[in-house]
Structure 1
Amino acid sequence: MSDDRHPPARFNAARYCLADNARLRPDKAALVMAGADGVSTLSFAEADRAVRGIAAGLLGLGLEPGARVMIRMGNDADYVLTYFGALAAGLVALPSSPQLTPAEAAFLMENSGAAAVAIGGGCSIDPADLGDRILLDAAAIAAMKAGPPVADYADTAADDPATLVYTSGTTSRPKGVLHAHRTIYGRRPMLAHWLGLSETDVMLHAGTMNWTYTLGVGITDPWAVGATSVLYDGPRDPAVWPRLIAAHRATVFAGVPSLYRQILKYADLAGHDLASLRHGCTAGEPLPPDLLDAWTNATGKPLYEALGMSEISTYVSSGPTIPVRPGSPGRPQPGRHVAILPVEGAPEPLPAGETGLLAVHCTEPGLMLGYWNRPDEEAQVMRGDWFAGGDLARLDADGYLWFEGRNDDLMNAMGYRVSPNEVEGVLAGHPDVAEVGVAELAVRADVRVICGFVVLRPGASPDADALLAWCGEKLAAYKRPREIRFLEALPRTANGKVQRKRLAEQADA
């Protein structure tokens, strides 16, 4: 049995997004890829056929249910089709970024126990790292799409694993967040209360496909209601977005706050017809009130913010049913079970106005199954029947959420959560570095970047460019420090632990 919050016991996420669309609106545009070389369109019938073809091809390789399929591709349609093909086959899709270095990609393959790796878009895998894993290149994926499809989507349970997403944790290595098929059904509250999506919409998302924000909001959510998704794979020019809104008659536009600021600064908003646009949506970073005002004044369109994380996606937002309150990401979406818990002691929800750990109840269908082979970290985030990811916040008398910082040191870089331990481990490997701490640094009132605070070895010369280049060789672009500051010593506690929150003030002293 199912109710409004929970899917049926037997539920396949790929079927949920594609099967009815292919039957009811086969010729409608499902995915539009716009780029420097023109526009390509995939209908719902074509997407359904290609996904079931890839599913058949993957199963034909002998992959067992639950086997992990790592996707290491550029920003093209095959990324989406391979992702949903893995789900359609009852396998676990592991989306990854083409920005990962070979070493980072090798870690994901090894840690996940991936059975197959799909590559494309100029991405590669070192044969020495591949081992006995099956390598699927663009030609192999094309053959699968053209081959005989499975007759139906896999008969998976709602709680069967579907997606493994790697995110930075509190250790020096990324951790895998394992999601079930039900997670996609668990996104339903955001459709009405943040995105305001219906079948008639055209969603333009500014992200790339490897990002869960794009896979979810840019593709999964529109497909869940029969809407059209538009993505862009050309040069990253902020001025292109108003042109794309006008050209494709986009009704909803999604991006991160920093992109909206770039659009306001570099794009000709007045030179394009934005009449089709109903509102913008933003997540991944806090939305500064001045940016909210600037966007709404320049366009006359609402801008709705949402708060989420890899473990549950977005669950707090403003939107068509939740009025915007500047400085707050909004209220818990109707149907969500959200509370503020004491940092210490029994997990009993605190009253309005009191600050504590932001928590989501374990009955939430969008919540992860758990961390991949990391029971120690799982235990750290579970508080009785609640999941608490480390954000400190309070709920006001009207139910709006207000941030009060983090209870740990995770950084937010370009919408990605990044562990300082991981960046510190790379910088510490440089021969000139004796000690290092990494933290966010405010470079403007509303802009924070990752900064490496370095104590040099005796005799070494301070060379920030050399250290930044070192990180550039070993870290994905979004994890790399943007600044290096040199210190005589790192601030430490009496027990010798680096006080990351004091690094910036030490550098200014």
Structure 2
Amino acid sequence: MLNFENLLTQDANGWHWHLPNYFNIAYGCVRQHVEKGQGDKLAMIVEDQFQGTSQLTYRDLDQASGRFNYLLKSLNISDGERVLIRLPNATSYPISFFGCLKHGAVAVPTSTLLSAHEVAYLAKDSGAKVLVTAKSMWPELSATLGKHDNLQTVLLAGQGNVPDTSNDSGIEVIDLDQALAQSPVDDSIFASRPDDPAYLVYTSGTTGFPKGVLHGHRSLIGRMPASRYWFNFQSGDRILHSGKFNWTYVLGSALMDPLFHGHTVIVHEGKNDANTWPQLIAKHQCTIFIGVPTIYRQIIQKTNFSADDVPSLRHCMSAGEHLSDEMLLAWRERFAMDVYEAIGMSEFSYYISQHTGAPIRPGAAGFIQPGHQVMLVDENLQPVASGQEGMIAIKTDDPGLFLEYWQLPDETTESRQAGYFLTGDYARQDEDGYIWFIGRKDDIINTFGYRVSPHEIERVIKTHPQVADCVALGDTIGKDKTIVSVCVIPVNEQALDEQELLEFGNQHLARYKAPKQVHLYQDFPRTKNGKVLRKQLLADLTNKRQSLTVSQTEVQA
């Protein structure tokens, strides 16, 4: 049996990867534990606010994903074909995900927050032949997705009957739970090589449309440095994650990494209530809690829980956006432990993090995880000196790096130069090795842990009949609080209903992408060649807000 710990070793010459000839994520996360006699150990617990608690042992997950594997074969799905997964946090998620990988298909995780039109775009772009979604979600999707030729089958999970959404699309709609119950267990696992495609995630693109980021089965091996230096795994760990499986961050840190190492994962489905997380930690005796800064902030500000209420908890982790120094200190005071941050991206997951072997320096992102070859380079792709700003560049032979941008060969090629993947993120490294993250020198909006392309928002808002032009911005309205604002030039200077435009955004965009404020303009500041000066627009919004604050203060005085 393969010893996975030997896949990343260190000697006097540095770190070395040793990839096997064949490797399948489903084997690493599921089957290996059954073969080791740990099949009865709990792999996952799902706490659903409305449907109660459900759980899977490693043997349950192995068998159920084997039935899903058989189901895909019965549908004549070939290896390499895509299966779109749009599910809430439920046991059907890992069953579908690992079932895809066992079959050799490519899983395409998709957020439940996306609108029907956005899901339709992903279905078309990925060429997915199968969609796995919840029965409650299908009526909204059916009319839009029925227009795409590639989609052949929809598998509906969850309680209740299959909704009646008859149309002329020719799509076969199947009750997933019934189909799995009637399917035999297929114990086979596709003999994938490390570089074979495993899953396709979508991220905000620069053209106004999401772009696919294709990962290989090797990606699980490539995240071993995070398992060693960020998670701080110990025997018997029980991990509570506050996120949804469809997010790349959660897909790795909740679904794959903990299961790869044989631990138990607890996730929640339902309304976001700050009290939920400490309560679940106590109920399930969780040892690790993983969230985003917003969740930690809510627990501190909206609950009275403290370390005495969660005695099992020993390690906390955060990613998605920076955790403020103020919140870190508040968490230390209340829970007597640190929160260890990490930085990652859809193309590479988390590769810079804090760890228990070194003190946290407020404001620093942590260290390059041992095993990853990462440099900070200047515009000539030469290493910068300590303390100097440089672009983060990752060695292209790192197994954690994505395979390609889906159907974007030119963009894939342009992103890799001189043997390195150029992230577009900038940082500096001090003499002690700490990384101080600066960010991207582009316009991507980081709002409540989500990275959003302004071009994608603008593309949608510009379809409104009263909008002549618009610019979407990340508008910082308070400490560690950034919202999406949209600056709009109305058609022919007509009156524009701002509330109606916000509703339009909510209908056509995921909630985290939809604008929260509208600012009206007659024209935008531009360069001589007509390019909008986004920084100047953002500065104008900041100045207006500050002026309003001063005026309100004077009135109160």
Q: TM-score, normalised by structure 1?
A: 0.96
Q: Is the 8 A contact 2:209 2:456 kept in 1?
A: yes
* 1:83 Cα deviation from its structure 2 partner: 0.8
Are the counterparts in 2 of residues 243 and 272 from structure 1 also a CA contact under 8 Å?
Answer: no
Q: Deviations over 1:429-462 (max 9, x none)?
A: 1222222111111100221111111122234224
Cα deviation, 1:153-204, whole Å, max 9, x if unaligned, reads 1111110000000110111100000000000111111112001123410000
Count of residues in correspondence between the two structures: 507
Cα distance in 2 for partners of 1:163, 1:208 equals 16
| 1:133 CA displacement | 2.0
Q: Is 1:413 the counterpart of 2:447 in the alignment?
A: yes
Report the AA paired with residue 134 of structure 1: T
Quick one: which amino acid aligns to residue 100 of structure 2?
A: A
| Equivalent residue number for residue 147 of structure 2 | 129
- The within-5 A match list for 1:50-449 is 50-120=64-134, 122-124=136-138, 125-127=141-143, 128-131=146-149, 132-138=151-157, 140-146=175-181, 147-270=183-306, 273-342=309-378, 344-345=379-380, 347-449=381-483
RMSD across aligned C-alpha pairs, in angstroms?
1.7
C-alpha deviation, 1:121, in angstroms: 5.1
Say which of 4, 8, 33 aligns to 1:21: 33
Distance 2:434 2:147 in 1: 48
- Rounded to whole Å, the distance in 2 between the matches of 1:359 and 1:491 is 34
CA contact (8 A) 1:167 1:310 kept: yes
The structure number with the bigger radius of gyration is: 2
The alpha carbon displacement at 1:79 in A equals 1.4
Aligned with residue 24 of structure 2, among 5, 8, 12 = 12
Could you tell me whether the CA contact under 8 Å between 1:56 and 1:144 is conserved in 2? no
Quote the offset at 1:95 in angstroms: 0.5
The more displaced of 457-466 and 10-19 is 457-466
Shift of 1:75: 2.1
| Map 1:433-472 → 2, pairs under 5 A | 433-472=467-506
SS in 1 for 2:265: strand
Cα offset, 1:7, TM superposition: 2.9
Task: Output one character per residue of 1:320-340: Cα deviation in whole Å (capped at 9) or x when no partner.
Answer: 234311101100011111111
Secondary structure at the counterpart of residue 478 of structure 1: coil
Shift of 1:272: 6.1
Whether 1:47 and 2:66 are equivalent positions in the alignment is no
Aligned to 2:48: 35
For residues 443-492 of structure 1, the C-alpha deviation after alignment (integer angstroms, 9 at most, x for no partner) is 00221111111122234224321111110110011211122222232121
> Matched residues in 2 for 1:160 and 1:482: separation?
41
Question: For residues 47 and 223 of structure 1, what CA distance do their matches in structure 2 show?
Answer: 11
Pick closer, same or farther for the CA change 1:221–1:239 going to 2, 3 Å: same
Letter in 2 for 1:497: K
Asked if the contact 1:242/1:272 (under 8 Å) is kept, the reply is no
Deviation at 1:271, TM superposition (A): 8.9
User: SS of the residue aligned with 1:129?
Assistant: coil
Q: Secondary structure at the match of 1:479?
A: coil
Distance 1:396 1:430 in 2: 48
Q: Secondary structure at the match of 1:366?
A: coil
- Write the letter of the residue equivalent to 1:218: A
Please give the alpha-carbon distance, in whole angstroms, between the structure 2 residues aligned to 1:271 and 1:180: 40
Q: Structure 1 stretch 477-486 or stretch 458-467: which is displaced more?
A: 458-467
- Given residue 487 of structure 1, which amino acid in structure 2 is its aligned partner? Y
Secondary structure of 2:468's match? strand
**For residues 121 and 313 of structure 1, what CA distance do their matches in structure 2 show?**
31
Q: Is the counterpart of residue 492 in structure 1 residue 504 in structure 2?
A: no
> Aligned-pair distance for 1:351?
1.9
CA contact (8 A) 1:327 1:402 kept: yes
- The SS at the match of 1:389 is strand
Secondary structure of the residue that 2:355 maps to in structure 1?
Answer: coil
Conservation of the 8 A alpha-carbon contact between 1:70 and 1:93: yes
Partner of 2:22, secondary structure, is: coil
Conserved? CA contact 2:426–2:438, under 8 Å: yes
- What SS does the aligned partner of 2:397 have? coil
2:135 and 2:177 map into 1 onto residues whose CA distance is 13
Tell whether the 8 Å contact from 2:223 to 2:400 is kept in structure 1 after alignment.
yes
CA distance in 1, matches of 2:73, 2:235: 32
Residue identity matched to 1:366: G
The 3-state SS of whatever aligns with 1:377 is helix
Report the 3-state secondary structure (helix = DSSP H, G, I; strand = E; otherwise coil) of the residue aligned with 2:76. coil
Report the more deviating stretch, 240-249 or 316-325: 316-325
TM-aligned CA distance change 1:390 to 1:121, over 3 Å: farther
Query: What is the distance in 2 between the residues matched to 1:161 and 1:459?
Result: 50
Tell me which residue corresponds to 2:170: none
Q: Residues of 2 paired with 1:489 and 1:380: CA distance?
A: 34
Task: Tell me the TM-score normalised to structure 2 length.
Answer: 0.88
Determine whether 1:476 maps to 2:489.
Answer: no
Give identity over the alignment, percent.
38
Aligned partner of 2:483: which letter? V
Alpha-carbon separation, structure 2, partners of 1:409 and 1:295: 31
